[in-house]
Structure formats: C-alpha cells, structure tokens
Structure 1
C-alpha cells in the first residue's frame, strides 16, 4: 500500500512546499501589518449594525429602485461592449502587443478608470461605461482566448480553404466553445453588477451612492434594506436576465442611463476642453509641463528630483503596504475557501445544511470587496484588518463555491470514509490542484482590489493616488496608477509561472 501511495504523495510535494512558503510569508507579513481595531466601541457599532437587519427600513427601497435599474443598465452595456471587444481581440490574441495592451487594461481597477474619466467627462454616463468596459475587455480577451485555445482544432482544419481566419474561427472554435463563452459572460455580468454598484461611491447614481449616504449618516436600517435588495438582485439574476428578456434590457438600458434621472441638473454634456487639458497638460509631469525643451540638463534634474520624491515618499510605501496586505489576504482567502466549501457540497452535508451553506457563500461572494471593506472600516476603524477580512471573505466564498461544485463530481467508492477522514484523505488531495490554480488566478485580482482599497484610507497605492487626485495633481496620480498597474502585471506573471511550473489546470469558470 505504501508503494502505491508514494507517487501521489510525490506529485503533491511541490504544491505543498509552495503552499507552506506562502503561509510563512503571510505569517511574516502579519508582524508588519497594522491590524488593530481603532474604533471607540466596535462591539456597540457591530451590535447596532446587525440589529438593523432585524428591522430594515423598507422606505428607502422606493427611492433606490431607480438606482438599482441604473446599476443594471451600466453593468449590461459595459459588459456587452467589453464582451464584443474581448471576443474580437481574442481571435487576434497571438499578437504580443495585443496581449500587452489587454494586460495593461485589466491591471487598472474599475474605480481607478472611473476616477480618471471623471476628470475628463465629469458625472457623464461615459465615465461609468468606460470604467467597466475597458478593464473587462482585457479580462474577456484573455479568458476567451484561453477557452478558444482549449477547443479542438480539427473542425478548423476541415473547413480551412479560401476562407479568412476569422470566418474559420466563427464556424469552428467559437461554435464549439460557445456554451463556455456564454457561461463565462454570464459570470462576468454578475461581476459587472458589483462593479457598477460601487461606482456610486464616486458620485455616479448607482446603488453604491445611496449605500454610502446611508452608512455615513449611521442609518443602518437603510443600509440593511439596500444590501438585502442587492443580494436579491444577484440571487435572482437568472430570472430577470433570461435570454428572452435580454434584448429588451439592451434596448432600454441606453435610455435609462442618459435620462434626466441620471443627473437632475441636466449637466451631462461632455466638456471637450477638459479632455484636451487633461491629456495635454494635467497628466504631464509638473517639471516638464511648461519647459521649452525636456532634454535640457536643468529640466531633467528638476524632473528626476520630482520623481525621486514621489518614488520614495509614495510609490515605495504604497507598494510595500499593497504587497503586505495582498499576501495576507491571499493566504487567508485560501484558508477560508478550504474551510467553507464542504458547507455547500453534498459530499459532506445534507440538503438543508447545504442550502444554508450556499446562502452564506452567495451573500459573501455577492458583496463587493470595496463595499464590504467600507462597512468593516466604519465598524472597526481604519487599519488593514477591514481590508484583509473583506478581500478574504469575498474571494474565499467565490473559491469555496467553485470547489463545492467540483467536489460533487468526484467519484467515491461505496466504502469511502466519512466526515473529516473523507475531507482529508478523499476530497482535499483531489481538488488541491484546481484550488491552487484558481487561487493563483485570484492573486492578481486581490492585488488590484488591494490597491483600490487605499481610497478608504488604507495606505496602499490607491491611497496616494486618490490623495493626488483630491489635490488636483493628476500627473502624480497617473504615475501612481501606472505603478499599481505594473505591480498587478508582475503578480499575474509570477502567478502564471507558478501555474506552469506546478502544471496546474485552471478552472474555466473562475
């Protein structure tokens, strides 16, 4: 028996070593992180918040109904545009410059894009649409290309002839992969709703606008009602977004977001002079903005001093805190996923227990990390702890949901062990490969979210970028956003190398 088990143990050894290294790094980061609870009476605030869920204020729902519809409209149009662009780019994804462009687009968080476009368009519908469409296009292009690559090439060889490459793809690979493409698009639409909701935190009239207003005033009963409404929206998506209703939504959504309800003052026209000033002056580094020639020694010296100050005082501290927070959140995410997935798997709990477990995972993964961090920040005070909890709960629940679905397809012997023995000896070794694959995939996502959580006051790169925008120093803000994007690209590259080295099979549904 020992001999037969040895190959399996050896095959898992590299993954276990990598897991232990990540665990040790995260433990070390805990000693460097600020995870204190700084609110005066956190237990009282948490009691008030959770008590409000027993008596939600339903009056706010009528007021927020319009915002809910606009949230859907932004998500639908933004995701639709991104899916179309992403599919087209995916057919040309063999071009290196396109892959680089997509990596740059998806490495910048939707809120960063929104803050950039806010300076160009103001509170115009284009701000929200482009903030969703651009990064999602990069995501769609990458995932669509991977899905198409995994399909059989035989039909393409059969119909190859005088037809163009695009025509061959449409009738061969795309036709084969269509169910997977559609499934992933539905998943990204759910993500788009979450992204659309949090755009309200920067002033767009989506659901997040009312959530922030209610929370900042301490109206927890209104917050509970709005969150329940949001959870109901996500849970019922397959009903109100049925394929028969989709054309109606697509036709009405543009009208909804440009109607008078979008901006009561009616100030939705684009100020082109703002766009011209933003690109020709605002984002040009201050030392170079009014210089006649950039290559003069005196101008370059001033520019290098300007860059050195930003690098040492903002970029380095921002990267340091972003990395610390990311590594802790990544490991805690993995631990939560491994602990929670049995609650939603038929291999471990009965139907009633599984329903409760699935409801828990739906609520956790449906709540955007930014919104969850905002709530915990109000309850616990400013530190890294709310961000770690928010990132780990959301991503851990998402991974747990995928692992639970995968575990239910595992064949078990009739005499298989039960309880902890089944978990430790039968199921966990067989799902650890896809678990690590999706965890490394979420690494880039967690780092991108970590950077943007700086807007809430945590000293990551987003904190310094948001501060620069508030101070109307857009040149500094762009430098910080580019730094965050490069850090995300690096994390994605390292994660890809680890997936390749460990021969991890990525789960297409993530």
Structure 2
C-alpha cells in the first residue's frame, strides 16, 4: 500500500509543478493549430516513400552512426566500469554523460565540421559515461559465490573472466541492446544540426510543409525500431559493426589547425584571451550569468518539473493499456502500438513537430517529454502489473485500478520516475535549440554568434545542473527506500 513519505513526496512535486505552470509560457500561438495537426496526421496516413532520393541513404547512415557510436561507447564504458570505484573516474563519467549528444555535436562541428567523426564522437562520448555507470552497477551486484569456488591461486583476471562476466552477461547484453535503440534515436536527431541522418530530411520536409514526406520518414523510423529484434541478431552483430563505418559517408578533410585554435583560443574567456585583469574577467562572467545562465537555469528547471509530473500522470494513465488486468487482446495490442510509438519517438523530434504546429512555447516541449518518458515508464509498470496475481473476487474497473494495482506498483513507478528525472532535464536543456528559452537556447545563440567561450561556460553549467539533479534523484530514492537502479 501507499507509504506516507511517498505520498508526501508526490504531493510536493505536484505542488512545485503547479506553481511552475503559473510562470510557464504554455500558449498556442499559431493561427490554426488543430488544422495544422490534422494535416500532419493526414500526412502520416498518406506517406510518400518515394519523394526523397536520399531517404534510404539517410536511413543507412542513421543506423551506421548508431552502431559505431554505441560500439565505441560500450567498449570504453566497460573499461571505465572496471575502475569506476575511483572518485575521479566517477566524476569524469558523470560529466561526460551529463552533456547531451547534440551539445557534443555542436562542439565538434566547430572544428571537425560535417565530418563523420562529429556524429560518432557525439554519441560515443556521453554513452561511454552511461555505459560505465550501468556496467559498474551490474558488476557490483553480481553473485560473488562463483568466485569463491575457483581453485586457490587463480589470478584476478581469470576470476573476473570466468566467474564475474558469465553471471553479468545477460544483463549487460540486454542493456546494450536497449542502448542501441537509444543510439538510433540519438543518431536520428543529429540530422537537426546538419549531419546526414534521418532528422536532416525530416526537418527539411517539415519546413516545406511536406507532411506526407515527413510521415514516411517517421514510419520508416518506427519500423526500424520495432523490428530490431528481427534484424539485430547476435550472429549478425560482427557484420554490422564491421560494415557500419563504411556507411558513415564522407566529409571535408579535418583542418587540425582549427582544432588547435578552438582549444587554445576560441573557448578561452575573452578577457583572459585579451590579457585583461580580474575585474574584467568578473564583469564578463557576471554578464554571462545574469543575461544568459540564470534565465536559462530558471526556465530549464521550471520546464523540467512540469514535464516530470506530466510524465508521471501520463504513466499512471497509460499502463492499463497493456496490462492483462484490463480489456481484451485488441485493446492491449492497440495500447502496445501507442506506447511503442510514444517511447520510440525522440523527444527532440516530437517537440520539433509540435512547435511547427502550435508555435514556440513550453507546451510542445512538455507534451513531447511527457509522451516519450510516459511511454517508457507506462510500458515498464504495465509489464510489472502482468506479474501480479489478483484474488478471484478482486474488484473490476476503476476500483481494480485504484485499490488493487496502483498501490502495488507505486513505489516502482516512483523509482522509474526519479530515475528519469535527470534524463528529462538533459532533454529539456537541449530543446532550447528549437527556440524555447532553456539553457540550450543560450548555448545555441552563443555558438551562432561565434562566442564559443560563453557557450562552453553555459554547457558546463548545464552539465553541473544535470549532475546535481541526478544526485538529488538518487538521494530521494534512498530516502524513500526505492530501488537505486530500477529494473523491470
């Protein structure tokens, strides 16, 4: 049943979100939003798969960037996981995973240009930090008994390979497969900064009002995600990994002088670069904080808290769609399709679509974040309810939902929700690139104005904010005695 601390925490977050709504900009500013939404759905219902010559190439490059980036991320993440117990390693991993893939792409674009290395590193670097954290937790939770049964004198390397890895292999493989799905989403949205993946053609179609073309691209992406169990087979993985680099495409040659200048001049704060004193440095930093950082932090936090609560509400409403305790097979199949679409659509793409239809405000971002994350959590807790056995005389309908199931899964639900908190904030910050006044807006503006020093300060603030929220989420999960690393 519900425990008082969990209920109190829930109401606190609900109250914060309601207060955020009072100051948030959630207006619909387009003249005919519902007509535009209808045109979009008509485009999805009448997709044009033959309009864009480069569509198949974009699809292949989306897959290629995902495979190369995730492969490198998993390799370096595993190596970092072996030394994750050291504080400097944990801090380093927390920092690189706190910076969104699009922020990494914007950084690398400044000196690598539209080279495949930009997309690969934009995925591989944050994923290395994510893999290191998760792999280390899996290794720490492994059963220690097999290691004690090895013959005396067995080396630590042999004990690790023959006793620890076999016990963790299934979990590591399952998580890596999930991260590959995330990599496909990350690869797709790299097209919004100009790399030749699916997002590039999707943005072009929307900007021209070609909704049937955009619908075709979305359908292909959903099919790509939904059919992963069919084409991502263990025996085929070596072939995919070997072939993927050949489908990344070609870019302009890297000018290493630009790389050197970026790190030695461009990102150095201008007062330091110009040899000015401490007063000038303080004035420059104060200007960045007052005019950009503080407004960006405020809007990022407000939007995050609204989206977090909206995600929770949607999750609780969505899980009955796939629960065996409600409806029949037709309804559950429809529910599965809805949740697959919701969780497979990257927040960035969904927010971009809604911004085109509803105009620039926080509302498209809130809906996008809630649909994507609510789809993920709703799917997980819906599956969890399928393991619950009710007594024969259990109530039906709303009573079954409110009195039998929700109290039993509520703690798991909160664990998932607080675990997604930091992820929601990462996405909230990056959605600023679309014109919402979060930290990403000011980062993108600074880069557009060739003020890389200001952009790097803002990216650093974004990373620290994400690290702080992640730490706060872990503290709350421990305080409420929830699972630190929720699984289902």
Structure 2 equivalent of residue 422 of structure 1: 400
Deviations 1:450-486 (CA, angstroms, capped at 9, x unpaired):
0000000000000000000001110000000000000
Distance 1:278 1:95 in 2: 31
**Are the equivalent residues in 2 in contact too, given 1:151–1:173 (CA < 8 A)?**
yes
Distance 2:316 2:93 in 1: 31
Q: 2:129 aligns with which of 138, 153, 161?
A: 138
Q: 1:499 aligns with which of 470, 477, 481?
A: 477
Structure 2 equivalent of residue 315 of structure 1: 293
Structure 2 equivalent of residue 409 of structure 1: 387
Q: 1:288 aligns with which of 263, 269, 272?
A: 272
Distance 2:20 2:486 in 1: 31
Structure 2 equivalent of residue 443 of structure 1: 421
Deviations 1:377-422 (CA, angstroms, capped at 9, x unpaired):
0000000000000000000001001111111111222222222111
Deviations 1:224-283 (CA, angstroms, capped at 9, x unpaired):
1110111111111111111222121111101111xxxx24xxx43211001000000000
The residue correspondences of 1:198-209 to structure 2 (distance < 5 A) are: 198-209=189-200
Structure 2 equivalent of residue 275 of structure 1: 259
**Are the equivalent residues in 1 in contact too, given 2:311–2:369 (CA < 8 A)?**
yes
The residue correspondences of 1:168-179 to structure 2 (distance < 5 A) are: 168-179=159-170
Distance 1:382 1:238 in 2: 37
The CA deviation at 1:161 is 5.0
Distance 1:124 1:387 in 2: 30
Structure 2 equivalent of residue 295 of structure 1: none
The residue correspondences of 1:111-510 to structure 2 (distance < 5 A) are: 111-159=102-150, 162-257=153-248, 262-263=249-250, 267-291=251-275, 299-506=277-484, 508-509=486-487
The CA deviation at 1:346 is 1.1
Distance 2:158 2:433 in 1: 45
What's the TM-score once normalised by structure 1's chain length?
0.93
- RMSD (Å) for aligned C-alpha atoms: 1.4
User: Structure 1 residue runs of 4+, over 6 Å off?
Assistant: none
What's the TM-score once normalised by structure 2's chain length?
0.98
The CA deviation at 1:347 is 1.5
Structure 2, unmatched stretches of 5+, are none
Question: Secondary structure at the residue paired with 1:417?
Answer: coil
Which range moves more in the overlay, 52-61 or 134-143? 52-61
**Are the equivalent residues in 2 in contact too, given 1:147–1:508 (CA < 8 A)?**
no
The CA deviation at 1:210 is 0.4
Structure 1, unmatched stretches of 5+, are 1-7, 292-297
